Amino acid sequence: MTDYVLIHGAFHGSWCWTRVRSLLASKGHRVFTPTLTGLGERSHLLSREISLGTHIADVANLMAWEELRDIVLVGHSYGGFIVRHVADRMSDRIRSLIYLDAFVPDNGKALFDYVPDKGRKFRELAAANGDGWKLPPPPASLMAVNAADADWVDRQCTMQPLSTFEAPAQISGACDTIPNVGYIRARGYASPYFDGFYALAGERRWWREELACGHDVMLDMPNELTALLLQRG
């Protein structure tokens, strides 16, 4: 039995892991899919005070209080920021670290440092539709979500605190000492920055896989993703 900790991306929640969670559990594994503070079913907690540090603490505290060790830690999209920090602080508890079409931040870099306009459009969107501090979710179509799930994803996604995209990463490098690190790229989602992280994974000699689907891999190809997590984790 393996313990899997699956971290969702921006605007999402635990709900996006339902299929993969069920598939892994059916194989006898324990699966934890925490929802980050202020998102999903915890959207009633959304506030200006939520930071990148809040979301890192969400996952680190789960691991501490559940006494999790020898885990497979997976981060999707923005969740790459979260798992990289958690792995940096708790590397002794992690067997495998997997970035799923995710950001892989260097020390001192914020998420906005990786997008083409350094976050200008996001800030304008927050000013127009989020009181200047929160972001409305993008349409599922922009993430190339499969047609059958697109309307559901649009209903499920919630506001994201802008500050979580502005905070610089604080990484010592301990996360890169984990022996099993990998990157899974969703080839159906065009993104120069995720292509860049995929290339970086190759340079760092991490294992790499590709799936022919949209950005929400866990929805588009849950069976194939589960097979990879079982094989590579």
- Could you list the active site residues? 77
Helices (H), the chain: 18-26, 52-65, 79-89, 120-129, 147-156, 163-166, 192-203, 217-220, 222-232
Task: Assess contact for 188 and 213: CB atoms under 8 A.
Answer: yes
Tokens coding 190: 């065009």
User: Residue 11: which region, alpha, beta or left (left: phi > 0; alpha: psi -120 to 50)?
Assistant: left
